[in-house]
Structure 1
Amino acid sequence: MTKHPEFIADTLKQAWQDLRADHPHMRIRDAAATLGVSEAELLATDCGNRVTRLREHWPALLGAVGTLGPVMALTRNAFAVHEKTGLYEDICPCGDMVLISGHHIELCLSTGIWHSGFAVLEETHHGTRHSLQFFDTSGDAVHKIYLTEHSDAGLYRRLIDIFRADDQLQHLELPTDGTMSALDALAQAKDLPEHWRRLLLAETTEAEIADRITAPALREFMRQLAELLLPIQVLVCNHGAMQLHDGPIQNLKITGPWFNILDRGFNLHLNEMAVAGADIVQLTGGQRALTGLLVRDQNQQSIMSIFGGYDETNGENVLWRDLLKALPVIGPG
């Protein structure tokens, strides 16, 4: 006999409560993996309590985020977490993409593959935390937006009221068909700004691999960049979002397997245990030659990419290019 969705949701909710009782500090992403479900399915079990399902009007909702003031944007994949604090000021739909830029924020979101979104209230050891969280058709998180102490909490509550979905069931039905990735959608999108086109090339097969460096060499290179305060571009992608940091890095810290950048307004967390190395890639942006680093995991999948500062008049930063040339290489991977 087929189990009713409400029964499934109640069973999953109880399993999560039991897991949290034994592991109170376990993150929901890890809890979902332990329970064999997606993060979105697990989150949905709390709809009507601390979770509110949102209507799928993504461009309009993201536009409303611009009224909240400074927020923290989080985009992650399996091995890297990219966090930027700033303003969602300039919201520009581009086909199934939404391009967002503002003070310290640069995002390219493939909202055409987004499946569900939630407003979430969490109690953490740092206090109460409010966020908007978006998931793809597999139930994996593609982008999250967290309120900061400078965000407008009143407007946030109003946003939730406006975009609250009629369906607040605690069971989430995920589609079984595949969807286009953010990179595929980017490749088909027209009228993309030049810098997104340039970054897209680095994440595709159009980038020529010149050499490779080891994970320890990558760590040392990041230390060198921090000492020089050299402006760089750090990009982390997943199936539904691309998030960019454009500027110098400074405060580095190693915590267990994690290599961290802990700067004001920008945090990066990279799981070094997953890093097989970084490819030095070459490509052409417009009429200019560009070089960068594409950090790979053990399966040769991209974790993040790093480029030097770029000026539309002068092109790539010359010091960046010289630093890459001086890296100890091990040959193409």
Structure 2
Amino acid sequence: MNAYYQRYLTLKAEHTNKFARDLATMIGISEAELCYARIGADAKPFSTDFAALLKELHKVGETMNIVRNEYAVHEQAGQYDNVKLGNHGGLVLNPRALDQRLFVSKWVSSFYIKEMTKRGEKESIQIFDAYGDAILKIYMTDNTNRQEWDALVAQFVMESLDQFLVSPHEHISENLLFDAKKIEEEWRAMTDVHQFFNLLNRHNVTRQQAFSSVSDTLACQVDNSALSEILNLALNDGNEIMIFIGNRGCVQIFTGVIEKLMPKDNWLNIFNPKFTMHLMEDQIAETWVTRKPTKEGYVTSLELFAKDGTQIAQLYGQRTEGDLEQETWRNQIDAVALKAKVA
């Protein structure tokens, strides 16, 4: 039994409320390295032919899919229908169900885990990036087709892994020499919200740098209480919203009505039958209201960032491509922005 796995078992017994991610941090290794240490016990290496895996996943039916970053967790039950893959990424396009944006070029390793938890035995496929951070975890549920799941696991599981390495996180220095006037001009000239990503790349700036460089009519910093306020407004008004939470390899999107909002300690929690969100409200360092032009008019979002620059989450009103922005959402954002604007 290797030392990391032994330490994991000890910590797991001492801290029954901690997840594998937390235990890996306590050990001083990445979560992927912990999975590697568990091989031969409750883990097996899994194929890194991710395109083939994504094409086969629809056969198993419903899964619970967990995407997270350091500050927020997005759990969505759904099926891998309508998977569309390109050279560097792809989509799982099922609005109001399983809706993902996949950056598969960032996916490096994966493991099949079969473990005992407080809620019984759990089986999952867990995918990690080059730094050993979790990109996506796919769990079997009571509604998963058992036969097809077993066949999928048999197809992609590997009995051994000859070599396993993770890379240290790199510090990326910010570009401090950019043309704010040009950013604003190009921002106002956009005709689709997806063009914003290209704008950032052209100028080699972060989202927050772009927000800070333009007029308040395009991006306005507001108080960090704005998230709680907007979620309560959406809960009370019953309008559909969109919640984007992701990491460098996957973004998962909820679209729908908030059914149950439960703040607890420093966490904002949403509990819907097929969707759950957990977000650390006290880790929000900056909150921005942004307005991006499209052919159909401006689209408004609420964007949340941690102190280290991580984008924690992004929220929109539900909007079908080609439609005008939802008026209820715009009114909610305007009310929150007016009340919570940062001087």
Change (3 A) 1:254 1:195: farther
Residue type of the partner of 2:67?
T
Greater strand fraction, Structure 1 or Structure 2? 1
2:149 corresponds in structure 1 to 156
1:165 corresponds in structure 2 to 158
Deviations 1:134-175 (A, max 9, x none): 000000001111111100122111111111225346x73224
2:186 corresponds in structure 1 to none
Decide whether the 8 Å contact of 2:131 with 2:169 is kept in 1: no
The question of 1:101 aligning with 2:93 is answered yes
1:41 corresponds in structure 2 to 33
1:254 corresponds in structure 2 to 263
1:83 corresponds in structure 2 to 75
Residue type of the partner of 2:332?
L
Decide whether the 8 Å contact of 2:61 with 2:145 is kept in 1: yes
The question of 1:116 aligning with 2:125 is answered no
Decide whether the 8 Å contact of 2:193 with 2:294 is kept in 1: no
Determine the C-alpha separation between the residues in 1 that align with 2:197 and 2:325: 16
Superposed displacement of residue 215, structure 1: 2.7
Decide whether the 8 Å contact of 1:113 with 1:179 is kept in 2: no
Deviations 1:165-198 (A, max 9, x none): 25346x7322469699xxxxxxxxxxxxx98827
Superposed displacement of residue 87, structure 1: 1.0
The question of 1:265 aligning with 2:262 is answered no
Structure 2 unmatched ranges of 5 or more? 173-190, 201-205
Superposed displacement of residue 51, structure 1: 0.9
1:4 corresponds in structure 2 to none
Structure 1 unmatched ranges of 5 or more? 1-8, 181-193
- Deviating beyond 6 angstroms after TM superposition, the runs of 4 or more aligned structure 1 residues are 177-180
Give the TM-score normalised by structure 1. Answer: 0.85
Residue type of the partner of 1:329?
A
Change (3 A) 1:10 1:81: same
1:31 corresponds in structure 2 to 23
Decide whether the 8 Å contact of 1:135 with 1:143 is kept in 2: yes
Determine the C-alpha separation between the residues in 1 that align with 2:262 and 2:164: 38
Residue type of the partner of 1:163?
F
Change (3 A) 1:94 1:196: farther
Deviations 1:101-158 (A, max 9, x none): 2370111111111110111112111111111100000000011111111001221111
Please give the secondary structure, in 2, of the residue aligned with 1:253: coil
Superposed displacement of residue 300, structure 1: 4.3
2:342 corresponds in structure 1 to 331
Residue type of the partner of 2:314?
S
Q: Count matched residues.
A: 310
- Of 204, 208, 220 in structure 2, the residue corresponding to residue 211 of structure 1 is 220
Superposed displacement of residue 65, structure 1: 1.3
1:129 corresponds in structure 2 to 122
Deviations 1:260-286 (A, max 9, x none): 000111111001110124210111234
Deviations 1:64-99 (A, max 9, x none): 111111111111000000111111101111211021
Superposed displacement of residue 313, structure 1: 3.9
Residue type of the partner of 1:233?
M
Decide whether the 8 Å contact of 1:59 with 1:98 is kept in 2: no
Please give the secondary structure, in 1, of the residue aligned with 2:248: coil
Decide whether the 8 Å contact of 2:259 with 2:270 is kept in 1: yes
RMSD over equivalenced CA pairs, Å: 2.6
Determine the C-alpha separation between the residues in 2 that align with 1:179 and 1:213: 28
Percent of aligned pairs sharing the same letter: 25
Decide whether the 8 Å contact of 1:40 with 1:172 is kept in 2: no
Superposed displacement of residue 50, structure 1: 1.5
